[in-house]
Amino acid sequence: AQKVTQAQTEISVVEKEDVTLDCVYETRDTTYYLFWYKQPPSGELVFLIRRNSFDEQNEISGRYSWNFQKSTSSFNFTITASQVVDSAVYFCALSGRFRETSGSRLTFGEGTQLTVNP
Q: Phi, psi at residue 35, to the nearest 5°?
A: -135, 155
Residues 34-73, mask of contacts with other proteins (x by CB under 8 A): -x-x----xxxxxx--x-----------------------
Tell me if 25 contacts other proteins by CB under 8 A: no
Name the minimum Å distance from CB 111 to other proteins: 7
Tell me if 90 contacts other proteins by CB under 8 A: no
Strands in the chain per DSSP E: 3-5, 10-14, 19-21, 24-26, 32-39, 46-52, 59-61, 64-69, 74-79, 88-96, 106-108, 112-117
Enumerate binding residues for other proteins (CB under 8 A): 33, 35, 37, 42-47, 50, 91, 95, 97-98, 101-111
